[in-house]
Amino acid sequence: MQAQPFEAAIFDLDGVIVDTAKFHYKAWKRLAGELGFAFSERENEQLKGVSRMESLDLLLQAGGITEVTPERREALTSRKNEWYKEYLATLTPADVLPGVTNFLELLRSCGIQTAIASASKNAPLILEKVNIRPLFDVVVDGNSIVKAKPDPEVFLQAARLLGVAPAACFVFEDAAAGVEGAITAGMRVVGIGDRGLLACAHLTITSFEQLEPVFLLGHIGVTGHTGWGGRPDEQ
């Protein structure tokens, strides 16, 4: 299957650009502790890439807590978010994950457009704290979408704002929900993290330093080699 030329790169934020995933886990774990149960890192994997309310539902399910009123749910998510923002206050440009800045600069030097597609409503704050906003043409976050991942809305909106067809986009994701949403959107996906958890991604790497950027660009089509265009089982 011949891949369409690569015109845009769309990135999740938490755990892909900046290691804020650890702050989410710390805040959710703290909330679970207040509610009287333990919450493991493995359970936290299910929360990656989904909305705040959906994350709360998964947390409560893990703790066996049912029949929570809407008002109580709002209060719990607000408490979690306040803790999370406290942790975000410590962010600096040094918290951008290894290899990310160089990769973004390389993409832009090749004429590739870039976007953030995140479920986080705190995305503008995070990008400001780490001083990386100028490297993105478009930012789509939880403030401007209705449906959370795995719905493809956030990715399709990013592509629309960039003026690029979904098939010409690559998505960089660390969450299974995000990988699913990007594939549903008709985009190609690079998973960042555990290959077992991101099995549907077209390619999986552990960090942007794992591969030489020029090799990665060639692999996904920037230098004229379309590489792979289908799912792993279609190659």
Active site residues: 12, 14
Q: Is 85 annotated as a binding residue?
A: no
Q: Is 109 annotated as a binding residue?
A: no
* Alpha-carbon gap, residue 211 to 214, rounded angstroms: 8
Radius of gyration for the chain, computed over Cα atoms and rounded to the nearest angstrom:
18
Q: Is 19 annotated as a binding residue?
A: no
Q: Is 13 annotated as a binding residue?
A: yes
Q: Long-range contact list for 227-234, CB < 8 A, 24+ apart? A: 227/3, 228/3, 228/202, 228/203, 229/1, 229/2, 229/3, 229/4, 229/188, 230/1, 230/202, 231/183, 231/200, 231/202, 232/202, 234/1
Q: Is 107 annotated as a binding residue?
A: no
Q: Is 173 annotated as a binding residue?
A: yes
Q: Is 97 annotated as a binding residue?
A: no
Q: Is 81 annotated as a binding residue?
A: no
* Alpha-carbon gap, residue 194 to 178, rounded angstroms: 14
Residue positions in the annotated binding site for substrate? Answer: 12-14, 28, 47-52, 55, 80, 118-122, 149
Residue positions in the annotated binding site? Answer: 12-14, 28, 47-52, 55, 80, 118-122, 149, 173-174
Residue positions in the annotated binding site for Mg(2+)? Answer: 12, 14, 173-174
